[in-house]
């Protein structure tokens, strides 16, 4: 039966009344299929542009949009301190009640705004996101009045989306890739600071809270307690008690089940591995609960007004819970926000992170708490006696102070002063540093590099190598000075600051403060946008001097360029950044377009790894207090959304260093423009360092994301020249001589293919990459039959050659024996000729002959 093949339509109207006016009715005479849903959402987005924003977070398998309606008083911006809330419905396509009631909720919130004080206050203080259908494909195949069936439950690939998320108890490789809908939700969840959420289902009548499963995956009856079990129980009770019947706990008669107070722990009901609510809690700041709204999954149309009336108050009351607990801001002593600060409640083993404005929200039940906030490079701050009530949230702001270090060098360093600085730190911190030069500039100045590692001078197996390069343009000096300060910070805080110690222990870091010392010596302090000192001593722009991927700049290379190229081939760099000035943006490959015209117009030039380049660029931008705002410099007209840009989309350059790194080596490099002024005054350096310090550290950590491992043969010997390919990406990397590899990737599921001359290729499917540390995947390659045959032929050839040599040696030795015997006989014969008498005694003659024997 098709969706609307119903013999009788009950055209009912739910009239919404407020104290001030009668609102327009919500039509509940039908279910909204994909087309009618899309039309309705667009109509409301058009009718209420001041409080709504309609967007899609991705597409389903059958290319339907996953629509989200955002409802808040300033939909075009993210307001500091305003919590984010979301409803997701119709994850199972045949569970249709949640889909319809959140459609009604969208209408109710929009139509009531400005008329109802409660709704207006909620919209003004909350950033609300509503997704009516996570599985629009399944809904299109579901059957109305099917109360207990499964038709339409799964997506178009026949996958249950609520078993498709990464699971805390399942570390085994996946047998299939994650679904498009799941990937879209994962990206949406992890890229936003949601505080509270609900996932709306059907087929029972209960509020279900984490955890949804256990390590043993028992079918039922095993309570799986999360660290926040008490607040999850209260959140579930808020919905249940506000629902017309859920709080009675009767469950559904067809299943003979009951739930005290209408709530249950998920795993105690039944085990759900790969569920969305656990993923929210474990991988983001968001606390999510699952609501089962009706015993019939897809009831007939005339049930919808009753379902709306049953759930309306509960839906509103649950959104209001986003404001409970503790919230506030984490800032430094200058009032600058500190994102990614960790908020720990003593006695609860679960933390949340501060968002981009330093704002945080921590849901808690009523009580008295102690909170500790930590952030990289700052002293921890603890506040005790924090009182939380059930009525309104408690605001606690944290101001963090920098961890103490030695006197910072906030001054410009000449080339000689730079050398002395590096030598001083290399001497004082010899256990973690090594100072070396990769070559000389045109004028003979060393191109110094400071290596910082727990084993300097040694490449440790499996440890990735990272580099920073600055001052490529001699008059762009911010990077030069911030890298000197970074060297100082890393050295002085090793062993004292946990994150610094871990970074140095697990990463081999190379820092080149200046690639163009000759240009620097000609530049002058205070230069805002000039060119004096930009080029090297041969008046060459070093960022136009590298071999181009389309071979458009054939020419002899500058000494500095040659030195860097040689350096790149000597070390297995994985990630890098080139620090510049003149803008405030993180710029990623490609830097040039595909046009043969070297002066082509700007156009987005997408490399095969565009997604990971965007991700690492965003890491720097978001960790910078201003870059992520996308503001343009006073002398520029450009603006950069989120503070990042594709290089060629900004302007195209040929012969840039970041493209060369990506195309010719294993290294992924971006270019970071650290500020609008090229050569700022020394008095500005302190502020510049404070703005970039956290971002510089955070960017280094990105070298540990993606996939890593070893490629060896069956005997455990590293395979030379092994190529690691990500299926679907036209960019390979090469394993090192020790068989190591590192492959940067964004979270997702991948197939990895490794090949090497003389070996059978190996494909590993369903490699799941998370947002955390790189997953290790090792490869064992088997020599091909042709290679083994060739090896056998080589062995036969060698043995045959050796036999020939031995035979020839024996022949030569035999000839020598014969020759020597002939010589001795001739000598004997001479002794018998006149005037020499012949001896009758032959003993001497016999000994003479014996001397020739071997």
pLDDT tens for 85-98 read 999 999 999 999 99
Q: What is the mean pLDDT of residues 350-355?
A: 95
> Residue 321 pLDDT more than 90?
yes
What pLDDT score does 12 carry? Answer: 35
DSSP state of 679: S
Confidence of residue 629 (pLDDT cuts 50, 70, 90): confident
Q: What is the mean pLDDT of residues 467-485?
A: 97
The pairing of strands 204-209 and 287-294 is antiparallel
> Residue 838 pLDDT more than 50?
no
- Considering the candidates 95, 181, 234, 292, report the single residue annotated as catalytic: 292
Percent with pLDDT over 70 in the chain: 87
Read out DSSP for 792-818? Answer: HHHHHHHHHHHHHHHHHHHHHHHHHHH
What pLDDT score does 11 carry? Answer: 30
Q: What is the mean pLDDT of residues 485-489?
A: 96
Lowest mean pLDDT among 19-28, 530-539, 653-662: 19-28
> Residue 378 pLDDT more than 80?
yes
> Residue 851 pLDDT more than 50?
no
Burial group, residue 225, by CB count within 10 angstroms (0-12, 13-18, 19+): middle
E-state strands within 322-461: 326-332, 342-345, 351-353, 359-362, 367-374, 381-388, 394-395, 398-400, 433-440, 446-452
Lowest mean pLDDT among 123-132, 331-340, 495-504: 495-504
> Residue 737 pLDDT more than 60?
yes
Q: Which residue has the tokens 């606690």?
A: 396
What pLDDT score does 167 carry? Answer: 87
- Give the C-alpha separation, 475 to 432, whole Å: 31
Instruction: Identify whether 292 is a catalytic site residue.
Output: yes
Residue 171 near residue 772 (C-beta atoms within 8 A): no
Percent with pLDDT over 90 in the chain: 76
Lowest mean pLDDT among 58-62, 173-177, 373-377: 173-177
Confidence of residue 843 (pLDDT cuts 50, 70, 90): very low
CA 164 vs. chain centroid, Å, equals: 20
Lowest mean pLDDT among 10-14, 267-271, 453-457, 660-664: 10-14
DSSP state of 186: H
CA 776 vs. chain centroid, Å, equals: 15
Q: Which residues contact 424 (CB under 8 A, 6 or more apart)?
A: none
> Residue 753 pLDDT more than 80?
yes
What pLDDT score does 716 carry? Answer: 96
> Residue 665 pLDDT more than 80?
yes
> Residue 29 pLDDT more than 60?
yes
Confidence of residue 839 (pLDDT cuts 50, 70, 90): very low
> Residue 828 pLDDT more than 80?
no
What pLDDT score does 253 carry? Answer: 80
CA distances from 334 to 397, 432, 545, 691 (A): 14, 32, 42, 11
> Residue 76 pLDDT more than 50?
yes
761-764 contact pairs (CB < 8 A, 24+): 763/727, 764/173
Of 513, 495, 378, 504, the residue nearest 448 (C-alpha): 513
Q: What is the mean pLDDT of residues 284-299?
A: 96
Question: What's this model's pTM, rounded to 2 decimal places?
Answer: 0.55
What pLDDT score does 176 carry? Answer: 79
310 against 834, higher pLDDT: 310
What pLDDT score does 40 carry? Answer: 95
Mean pLDDT of the chain: 88
Q: What is the mean pLDDT of residues 489-506?
A: 90
Confidence of residue 831 (pLDDT cuts 50, 70, 90): very low
Instruction: Identify whether 673 is a catalytic site residue.
Output: yes
What pLDDT score does 830 carry? Answer: 45
Confidence of residue 599 (pLDDT cuts 50, 70, 90): low
Q: What is the mean pLDDT of residues 357-361?
A: 97
Q: What is the mean pLDDT of residues 54-61?
A: 97
What pLDDT score does 674 carry? Answer: 96
pLDDT tens for 208-257 read 999 998 877 776 678 999 999 999 999 999 999 999 999 999 888 877 78
Structure tokens at 510: 């190379």
Cα three-residue angle 242-246-249, rounded to 5 degrees: 130
Q: Is the dihedral of CA 174, 177, 180, 186 positive or negative?
A: positive
What pLDDT score does 390 carry? Answer: 86
What pLDDT score does 848 carry? Answer: 37
- Give the C-alpha separation, 343 to 636, whole Å: 39
What pLDDT score does 216 carry? Answer: 74
What pLDDT score does 659 carry? Answer: 97
pLDDT tens for 103-144 read 999 999 999 999 999 999 999 999 999 999 999 999 999 999
What pLDDT score does 816 carry? Answer: 61
- Give the C-alpha separation, 170 to 193, whole Å: 25
What pLDDT score does 217 carry? Answer: 74
Confidence of residue 847 (pLDDT cuts 50, 70, 90): very low
Structure tokens at 682: 């020394």
Q: Which residue has the tokens 């009831």?
A: 299
What pLDDT score does 825 carry? Answer: 45
Q: What is the mean pLDDT of residues 142-162?
A: 95
> Residue 798 pLDDT more than 60?
no
Residue 519 near residue 534 (C-beta atoms within 8 A): yes
Residue 282 near residue 224 (C-beta atoms within 8 A): no
What pLDDT score does 371 carry? Answer: 95
- Considering the candidates 673, 691, 702, 740, report the single residue annotated as catalytic: 673
């Amino acid at each position: 039966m098709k969706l609307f093949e119903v013999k009788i339509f009950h055209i009912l109207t739910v009239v919404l009344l407020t104290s001030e006016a009668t609102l327009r009715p919500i039509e509940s005479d039908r279910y909204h299929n994909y087309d009618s849903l899309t039309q309705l959402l667009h109509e409301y987005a058009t009718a209420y542009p001041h409080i709504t924003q309609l967007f899609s977070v991705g597409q389903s398998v059958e290319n339907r949009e996953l629509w989200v309606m955002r409802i808040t008083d300033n939909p075009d911006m993210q307001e500091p301190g305003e919590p984010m809330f979301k409803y997701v419905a119709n994850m199972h396509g045949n569970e249709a009640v949640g889909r319809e009631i959140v459609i009604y909720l969208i209408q109710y919130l929009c139509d009531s705004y400005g008329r109802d004080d409660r709704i207006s206050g909620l919209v003004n203080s909350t950033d609300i996101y509503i997704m009516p259908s996570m599985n629009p494909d399944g809904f299109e195949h579901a059957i109305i009045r099917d109360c207990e069936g499964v038709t339409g439950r799964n997506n178009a690939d026949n996958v249950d989306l609520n078993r498709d998320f990464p699971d805390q108890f399942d570390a085994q490789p996946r047998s299939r890739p994650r679904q498009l809908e799941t990937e879209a939700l994962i990206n949406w969840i992890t890229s936003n600071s949601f505080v509270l959420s609900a996932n709306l289902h059907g087929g029972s009548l209960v509020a279900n809270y984490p955890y949804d499963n256990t390590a043993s995956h028992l079918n039922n009856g095993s309570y799986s307690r999360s660290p926040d079990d008490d607040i999850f129980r209260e959140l579930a009770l808020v919905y249940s008690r506000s629902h017309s019947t859920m709080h009675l706990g009767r469950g559904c008669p067809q299943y003979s089940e009951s739930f005290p107070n209408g709530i249950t722990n998920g795993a105690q009901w039944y085990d759900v591995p790969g569920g969305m609510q656990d993923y929210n809690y474990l991988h983001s700041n968001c606390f999510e609960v699952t609501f089962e709204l009706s015993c019939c999954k897809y009831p007939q149309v005339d049930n919808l007004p009753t379902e709306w009336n049953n759930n309306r108050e509960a839906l509103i009351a649950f959104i209001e819970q986003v404001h409970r607990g503790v919230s506030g801001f984490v800032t430094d002593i200058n009032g600058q926000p500190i994102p990614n600060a960790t908020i720990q409640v003593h006695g609860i083993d679960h933390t949340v992170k501060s968002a981009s404005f330093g704002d945080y929200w921590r849901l808690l039940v009523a009580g008295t708490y102690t909170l500790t906030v930590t952030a990289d490079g700052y002293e921890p701050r603890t506040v005790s006696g924090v009182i939380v009530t059930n009525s309104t949230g408690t605001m606690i702001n944290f101001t963090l102070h920098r961890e103490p270090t030695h006197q910072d060098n906030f001054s410009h360093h000449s080339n000689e002063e730079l050398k002395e600085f590096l030598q001083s730190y290399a001497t004082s911190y010899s256990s973690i540093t090594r100072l070396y030069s990769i070559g000389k500039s045109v004028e003979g100045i060393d191109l110094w590099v400071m290596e910082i590692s727990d084993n300097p001078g040694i490449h440790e197996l499996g440890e990735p190598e990272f580099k920073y390069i600055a001052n490529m343009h001699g008059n762009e000096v911010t990077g030069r000075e911030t890298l000197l300060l970074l060297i100082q910070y890393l050295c002085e805080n090793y062993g004292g600051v946990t994150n610094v110690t871990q970074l140095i222990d697990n990463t081999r870091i190379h820092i080149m403060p200046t690639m163009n010392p000759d240009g620097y010596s000609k530049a002058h302090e205070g230069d805002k946008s000039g060119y004096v000192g930009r080029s090297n001593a041969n008046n060459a722009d070093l960022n136009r001097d590298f071999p181009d991927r389309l071979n458009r700049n054939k020419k002899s290379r500058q000494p500095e360029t040659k030195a860097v190229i040689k350096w790149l081939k000597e070390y297995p760099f994985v990630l890098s950044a080139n620090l510049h000035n003149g803008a405030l943006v993180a710029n990623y490959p490609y830097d040039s377009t595909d046009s043969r015209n070297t002066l082509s117009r700007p156009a987005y030039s997408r490399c095969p790894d565009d997604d990971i380049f965007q991700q690492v660029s965003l890491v720097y931008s978001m960790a910078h207090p201003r870059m992520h705002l996308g503001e343009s410099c006073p002398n520029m007209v450009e603006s950069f959304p989120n503070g990042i840009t594709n290089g060629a989309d900004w302007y195209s350059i040929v012969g840039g260093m970041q493209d060369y790194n990506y195309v010719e080596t294993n290294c992924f490099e971006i270019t970071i423009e650290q500020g609008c002024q090229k050569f700022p005054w020394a008095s500005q350096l302190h502020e510049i360092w404070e703005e970039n310090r956290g971002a510089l550290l955070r960017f280094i950590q990105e070298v540990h994301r993606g996939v890593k491992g070893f490629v060896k043969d069956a005997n455990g010997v590293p395979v030379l020249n092994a190529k690691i390919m990500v299926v679907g990406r036209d960019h390979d990397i090469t394993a090192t001589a020790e068989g190591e590899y590192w492959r940067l990737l964004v979270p997702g599921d991948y197939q990895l293919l490794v090949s090497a001359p003389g070996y059978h290729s190996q494909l590993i499917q369903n490699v799941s990459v998370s947002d955390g540390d790189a997953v290790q995947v090792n490869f064992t390659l088997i020599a091909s039959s042709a290679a083994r045959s060739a090896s056998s032929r080589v062995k036969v050839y060698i043995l045959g050659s050796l036999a020939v040599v031995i035979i020839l040696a024996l022949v030569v030795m035999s000839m020598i024996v014969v020759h020597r015997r002939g010589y001795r006989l001739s000598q004997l014969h001479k002794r018998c000729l006149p005037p020499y008498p012949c001896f009758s005694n032959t003993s001497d003659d016999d000994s003479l002959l014996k001397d020739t024997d071997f």
